[in-house]
A and B are shown apart, each in its own frame.
Chain A
Amino acid sequence: MVDGNSAKETGKEGLTRRRFTLGMLIASIAGAFGSLFALLKVLAPEKKGGGYATTILPGDVLVYAQGGSAGSPVTASSMKAGDAVLAYPTGKSSNPANLVQLIKLEEAAFKPPTDISLTDKGFVAYSAICTHLGCTVSWMANRESPAASFTECFCHNSIFNPAEGAKVMGGPAPIPLAQIGVKVMQDGTLAFTSDFKGPIGPQV
């Protein structure tokens, strides 16, 4: 350029001044972002609420989770093969991780990997929280042939086979629903006998 010379003359001082300003600018931007980082920590609190930590203890009695008789114990005599209900351990319905699907099938219907020792008189229970993205699973009852009934999650149509350890038969769910032990008590109600045999809820 034409004025290249004059730029060179004043260049030295101008450059350091410019460098200093630039340094200040970078430092302040870095500082600002640094503090922003702390801010982001505040904005992402560890608020507990969701998450799936079950509080079921062996001996807890199963009660209906919904419908008119929500909260009252499920009785073995009210269910025949091919039926299923959503149930909670009594008094612990505020924790969604405790929601189970109680299913009654023919006793001979169970195949591995179902844990037969956790079933009783055809009753089997699985976590009702879909392992895909956490919707509650539903029961697709087949009135003609109860053995063809299955568990389906209506959110993205994952299908689980209750006779085979809730194995994933289709859809995006990555793993089976976890089985949990149940048994029929003397008074005809049902109680849990174990904890979940596997992870529950979305696998994230």
Chain B
Amino acid sequence: MVFKWLDERLELRKFKEKFLSKTFPTHPTFLLGETALFSFITLVATGIFLGFLYEPSTTMVSLFGAMVPAAYASVVRIDLLPMGLIIRRIHHWSAMIMIAAILAHLLRVYFTASYRKPREINWLVGLSLWGTAMIGAFTGYLLPYSQFSVTATSIAYYMAKSMPWIGNWISRLLFAGDFPSDGTVPRFFFMHVMLIPATLIGLISLHMLILIKQKHTEPRSNRDRKEAQGGKRLIGIPIWPEQAVISLSFFLFLLFVVVLMAAYIPLNPIEMYGPPSPGTPVMRPDWYFLVVYGFLKLVPGDLVFTILGGKITPETIGGVIFPALNFLAYALVPFIDRSKEPQHYMANPLHRPFMTSLGVGAIVFLCMMAVAGYIDVLHITTKAMTVYALVATAAAWSVSYALLRWYNGKRGNNAKA
């Protein structure tokens, strides 16, 4: 009935035939992107709840007799509401999971070489999604205005400010004046609840549109089947109803896991950090910033030089140049590993010694940087850590390359890829 009524007006049947019957190739790793998408939906839902109750202001108000910033007080009040704390934790955990899922998805695409022609654009869109998600997470750090928030944001403020030539202006633009001042929280609030989600929605839509247009890459096994049948269409299951049911149950399962984590694993305990205070305790950023955090610790303090009147300091190197170079390197991947013909099948990483070993080396390097975030508890000096990181990276790269070459040499005798 309802369907008929809507169909007469919106031509739903056409939509169903054209879109919902599309084929979705199956492979367990194809759920990584969906994990990211579903985490985003959870983020929006919990974010709406939090947004109703949060107060983006640093005016001092009284909370149980103590004077604290209004933002901090409002988050403490959210935590005290029935279900309040758990929703805030679901929000935070979903952000962590979303970023992890995007990363895992990127790695999957990298190792299966699914970024090759014609999918270079979607690789770039995916990278931007990752970057935007991290900016979203970062702007979220500040909002509770706890001691942790202020320290983390102040570090980023000085990193931005340390940039040569434009640092002063950029930092004032992003933080709405100097930090800490009363402009930063409202600006970050706007970015966090409006600008960044809108950008994410735009990028996600673009990502999916391109995906629908270009079609999904397929597992290699599909190729042999297709060749045998002489078919050209994608092999997989239709979006409606099969894939939809899988996705829905997967979404619910994911939600279950996140709620479980939120219920049992404490995260960002702002009551423990307390409102901003003069001292700085030991604090580490969420896992996805550990790489930059660790790298910052390794840059020697006397590494300063001047180009064209701009002073390049360790802060700029660690906080701006290093992340930028990372993203640039990832963005260049599809333009370095090019293919003339459009590729529509996942590659087997074992058959691609060069790219795969490069990826392995990069992963080890990033992990070592994250470890460098812990040199204080591991009692390693920065010099030793730098050496370890370089040696581990070089070893991982060369050993995996040699192994893969050897493997392919053996395989090359009996089979051709």
A residues apposed to B, CB below 8 Å = 40, 43-51, 65-66, 86, 88, 93, 96, 99, 128, 132-138, 153-158, 168, 170-175, 202-204
Residue of B nearest to A98 (CB): B278
B306 to chain A, nearest CB (A): 13
User: In whole angstroms, what is the CA distance A156 to B181 when docked?
Assistant: 24
Q: Decide: A47 near B314, CB < 8 A? Known: A40-B173, A96-B278, A138-B280.
A: no
Contact A132 B315 (CB under 8 A): yes
User: In whole angstroms, what is the CA distance A110 to B85 when docked?
Assistant: 51
Contact A174 B302 (CB under 8 A): yes
User: In whole angstroms, what is the CA distance A47 to B181 when docked?
Assistant: 7
Contact B154 A156 (CB under 8 A): no
Contact A156 B177 (CB under 8 A): no
Q: Decide: A66 near B178, CB < 8 A? Known: A133-B315, A134-B154, A135-B151.
A: no
Residues of the A chain whose Cβ atoms lie less than 8 Å from the Cβ of B151: 135, 155
Interface set, chain B 296-320, CB cutoff 8 A to A: 296-302, 304, 313-315, 318-319
User: In whole angstroms, what is the CA distance A133 to B304 when docked?
Assistant: 15
Given A44-B172, A49-B179, 14 extra CB contacts under 8 A: A47-B176, A50-B181, A86-B278, A132-B301, A133-B158, A133-B159, A155-B283, A157-B376, A174-B302, A174-B304, A174-B314, A175-B301, A202-B158, A204-B167
User: In whole angstroms, what is the CA distance A132 to B296 when docked?
Assistant: 10
Residues of the A chain whose Cβ atoms lie less than 8 Å from the Cβ of B315: 132-133, 172, 202, 204
Contacting residue for A172 out of B157, B181, B277, B314, CB 8 A? B314
Number of interface residues of B (CB under 8 A): 46
User: In whole angstroms, what is the CA distance A157 to B297 when docked?
Assistant: 7
Residue of A nearest to B155 (CB): A133
User: In whole angstroms, what is the CA distance A43 to B169 when docked?
Assistant: 10
Q: Decide: A156 near B293, CB < 8 A? Known: A134-B154, A138-B279, A202-B158.
A: yes
Residues of the A chain whose Cβ atoms lie less than 8 Å from the Cβ of B34: none
B347 to chain A, nearest CB (A): 40
Contact B155 A170 (CB under 8 A): no
Contact B161 A202 (CB under 8 A): yes
User: In whole angstroms, what is the CA distance A65 to B280 when docked?
Assistant: 12
Please name the 5 residue pairs, one residue from A and one from B, whose CB atoms are nearest each other, closest first: A47-B177, A49-B181, A50-B178, A44-B173, A44-B172
Contact B313 A203 (CB under 8 A): yes
Residue of A nearest to B178 (CB): A50
Residues of the A chain whose Cβ atoms lie less than 8 Å from the Cβ of B300: 172
Residues of the B chain whose Cβ atoms lie less than 8 Å from the Cβ of A153: 280
User: In whole angstroms, what is the CA distance A154 to B155 when docked?
Assistant: 12
User: In whole angstroms, what is the CA distance A40 to B70 when docked?
Assistant: 28
User: In whole angstroms, what is the CA distance A168 to B138 when docked?
Assistant: 30
User: In whole angstroms, what is the CA distance A44 to B168 when docked?
Assistant: 9
User: In whole angstroms, what is the CA distance A133 to B315 when docked?
Assistant: 7
Among A50, A51, A138, A204, chain B packs the most CB atoms within 10 A around the CB of A204
B residues apposed to A, CB below 8 Å = 151, 154-155, 157-159, 161-162, 167, 169-170, 172-173, 176-183, 277-283, 293, 296-302, 304, 313-315, 318-319, 375-376, 381-382
Residues of the B chain whose Cβ atoms lie less than 8 Å from the Cβ of A154: 280-283, 376
Contact A173 B301 (CB under 8 A): yes
Contact A49 B178 (CB under 8 A): yes
List 13 contacting pairs A-B, 8 Å CB cutoff, sorted by A: A43-B173, A46-B177, A47-B177, A47-B183, A51-B178, A93-B278, A134-B157, A153-B280, A156-B293, A157-B382, A172-B314, A175-B301, A202-B162
User: In whole angstroms, what is the CA distance A174 to B319 when docked?
Assistant: 15
Contact A49 B177 (CB under 8 A): yes
User: In whole angstroms, what is the CA distance A47 to B296 when docked?
Assistant: 28
A102 to chain B, nearest CB (A): 13
Residues of the B chain whose Cβ atoms lie less than 8 Å from the Cβ of A99: 278
Residues of the B chain whose Cβ atoms lie less than 8 Å from the Cβ of A157: 297, 375-376, 382
Residue of B nearest to A158 (CB): B301
Residues of the A chain whose Cβ atoms lie less than 8 Å from the Cβ of B182: 47, 49
Residue of A nearest to B162 (CB): A204
User: In whole angstroms, what is the CA distance A50 to B281 when docked?
Assistant: 20
Contact B283 A204 (CB under 8 A): no
User: In whole angstroms, what is the CA distance A133 to B179 when docked?
Assistant: 12
Contact B278 A136 (CB under 8 A): yes
B73 to chain A, nearest CB (A): 19
Residues of the A chain whose Cβ atoms lie less than 8 Å from the Cβ of B296: 133, 156, 172
Q: Decide: A50 near B180, CB < 8 A? Known: A154-B376, A202-B162.
A: yes
